A and B are shown apart, each in its own frame.
Chain A
């Protein structure tokens, strides 16, 4: 499972070197812009720009395809519906808008390290202090979650094996109840450990 490395593809294009905050701002502007594009020709121009950006970033075709693939079944279904309801140009406009927005967002994900994203997120969370949320606790929360994923995944594997041994492997409830109770036990022990280390002040 590569769940903890993210989809980042190393490189040193200008997209890789651009500050994360700036990339996110540009992405927001572009996605808004896509909604405002009036014609199929403008959309084709935007598509060329997106393809060029992918080429400049040198992330490889496989990584690009992996970003867009999850929406394809939806886009295909939507294309048919729009074709029937609103005609071919509307169908092309609506579906390509979705594919391009997903591709652009995917490009930001592919060219930004998860650690850089986390740092930006933590900076963005700083104003949360004003509503009483301690930013340190929030960033601790994020790292604790990442750390807990392999722990809970291992717990799920153990419970599944126990289920198989009992011969109830098809019961979702026989799987989920021990899993959730085990997760809560782990959480409450973790909470005690955090208190013991002085997080409680």
Chain B
């Protein structure tokens, strides 16, 4: 397992923790608190952009596993198995392929991924893929048509668009300041390690 070196274990663990901490940042509430917009999906997008596909998805998986065993690490102090039996569970599960796809697109940008690529990665992975997982589950749980469920999730779109722009902007800033934050740069085997 070359991609799962001690450095990767550390990065994945710290990023899972970072997504949890971003849930504590007080979010903006749209429509009188009906739709909580938190920084947590921002963390999911950043995990993809900075760790890449497999590590980003693994960080999300670790977070979800800890939530499932009962730690209240989701925004608003939610946690426990209950979050996986709710109508919104599909969105939560969608974080996994979402982070993966975000990372997959970002990785293909080579050693200096452009701002446009990072933004597209967030829009496709962090929004498209997550909605694709979330809306059908919403429809099944709520006994709604797909269109009805999609209409219901329309309330998330403005916040998520803002987060996609913010995430790619933040990732660009981080990658300028710390070149090791670019997935393809980090992947290169360091001297002393055999390939």
Set of chain A residues within 8 Å of B66, measured between Cβ atoms: 142, 145-146
**A167 in the interface, Cβ–Cβ < 8 Å?**
no
**Once bound together, how far apart are the Cα atoms of A121 and B64, in whole Å?**
12
Closest to A5 in B: B71
Q: Which of A24, A151, A180, A181 has the most CB atoms of chain B within a 10 A radius of its CB?
A: A180
Q: Total number of A-B contacts with CB less than 8 angstroms?
A: 212
Chain A residues in the interface with B (C-beta under 8 A): 1-4, 6-8, 24, 27, 31, 67, 70-71, 73-74, 77-78, 81-82, 86, 90, 94, 98, 101-106, 108-110, 112, 114, 117-118, 120-121, 132-134, 137, 140-142, 144-149, 151-153, 156, 172-173, 176-177, 179-181, 183-188, 190-192, 194-195, 199-200
Give the B interface residue count (CB, 8 A): 64
Q: Check B166–A172 contact: CB distance below 8 A.
A: yes
Set of chain B residues within 8 Å of A112, measured between Cβ atoms: 70
Q: Which one, A104, A141, A172, contacts B62 given CB within 8 A?
A: A141
Q: Check B9–A140 contact: CB distance below 8 A.
A: yes
Interface stretch of the complex, out of B20-28, B93-101, B112-120, B126-134: B20-28
**Once bound together, how far apart are the Cα atoms of A144 and B79, in whole Å?**
19
Q: Which one, B9, B15, B87, contacts A98 given CB within 8 A?
A: B87
Q: Check B87–A149 contact: CB distance below 8 A.
A: no
Q: Check A74–B170 contact: CB distance below 8 A.
A: no
Set of chain B residues within 8 Å of A81, measured between Cβ atoms: 142, 144, 148
Chain B residues in the interface with A (C-beta under 8 A): 1, 4-18, 20-21, 24-25, 34, 39, 42, 46, 50, 58, 62-63, 65-66, 68-73, 76-88, 141-144, 148, 166, 169-171, 173-174, 177-178, 180-181
Q: Check A194–B10 contact: CB distance below 8 A.
A: yes
Q: Which one, A7, A141, A153, A183, contacts B70 given CB within 8 A?
A: A7
Closest to A108 in B: B81
Q: How far is the CB of B59 from chain A (nearest CB, A)?
A: 8
**Once bound together, how far apart are the Cα atoms of A200 and B2, in whole Å?**
10
Q: How far is the CB of B187 from chain A (nearest CB, A)?
A: 14
Set of chain B residues within 8 Å of A148, measured between Cβ atoms: 13-14, 16-17
